[in-house]
A = this chain, B = another copy of it.
Amino acid sequence: MSDLPKYVQINEEGPREGFQIEPPTITTDRKVELIDALSHTGINHMQVVSFVNPRRVPSMADADEVVKRFTPKPEVTYTGLWLNEKGLERAKIHQDKLTLEGKISIYASEKFSMRNNNRTTAQEFEYARRVLENYLEHGIPVDRGSVASAFGCNYQGDMPVETITDIVRRIFELADEYGVKLKELSFADTMAWATPAHIKRLIGAVREKYPEQRLSLHLHDTRGMGIANAYAGLEMGVDMFDSCVAGLGGCPFAGHKGAAGNVCTEDLVFMCQEMGIETGIDLDKLIDCARLAEDIVGHPLPGSVKLGGNLDKLRASVH
């Protein structure tokens, strides 16, 4: 049987992933309410907004205001997402509260990259180089390499493991060229094509070439595989996950019709807790946040543990 990690780092993305896909009727105050509540759960890393074009993502038009209003806790790293230089310029204004995290980020699917950013994969790497130079010039640390649509793409189909390991190799080459040491390498199942067996194949292939590299997964639960995929990752030694409280989220450009939430933070924390893996997060407080998130968006959200409950409570009641 595999050795599971002893500690898993969870990067909460609910406020960003979640609210970006909701209609822009959610008030700034309610967004801030969720961020502040999440800050009290033990979550230590949280992406709170995206600085994107308000015409494309109207519900993020108040990103600056959200950042101004939330109450930072010193033990939490708050981050934002940007997709271009304009977004980065907006993020830089908030360095009193946000930690700017540079990354080398590549869309593995050329068709999606063309559709979304009008760039071939070669152009993706050229763009990543310019972005990297810009980070270094402004003293923004670049700790993460990231591969989007690493398992499959609604526009391109299956993504072979060899395609992804080749992209990984080129990411490391680019980093090396600039003397950048990537602390983590993240694989996103942007459109929910992964199965647990596929996770094991890809992570296994990457592990073989880079045995010491910390690996991370960003999983979507569109086809119900999210937690199973996370488990497969854990079995392969992955000890860092992006996730969203209550299963909020989904990419507004990914072309899904159905529910498209991210893997649910409290379900993931529950699984870790029950398997003896530390996350530093208080499950009961997190469940309260999941219910709050549901109240804020005004419709049921997919997470299960907020309904099924924390087993530790049941245990305490029967012993």
Residues of A at the B interface (CB closer than 8 Å) are 1, 4, 111, 152-158, 192-193, 195-198, 200, 204, 221-225, 227-228, 230-232, 256-260, 264, 267, 270-271, 274-276, 300, 302-309, 311, 314-315, 318-319
Contact = CB atoms under 8 A, between A and B. Distances in A.
A248 to B, nearest CB: 15
A304 B193 contact: no
A155 B317 CA distance: 8
Nearest to A277: B197
Given A154-B318, A231-B232, A232-B231, A223 B308 contact: yes
Contacts of A223: 267, 270, 304-305, 308-309, 311
State how many copies of this chain the complex holds.
2
Contacts of A204: 1
A307 to B, nearest CB: 3
20 contacts: A1-B204, A154-B314, A154-B318, A155-B318, A157-B318, A193-B311, A222-B304, A223-B267, A223-B270, A223-B304, A224-B227, A224-B305, A225-B270, A227-B227, A228-B230, A228-B271, A256-B308, A257-B307, A258-B307, A260-B308
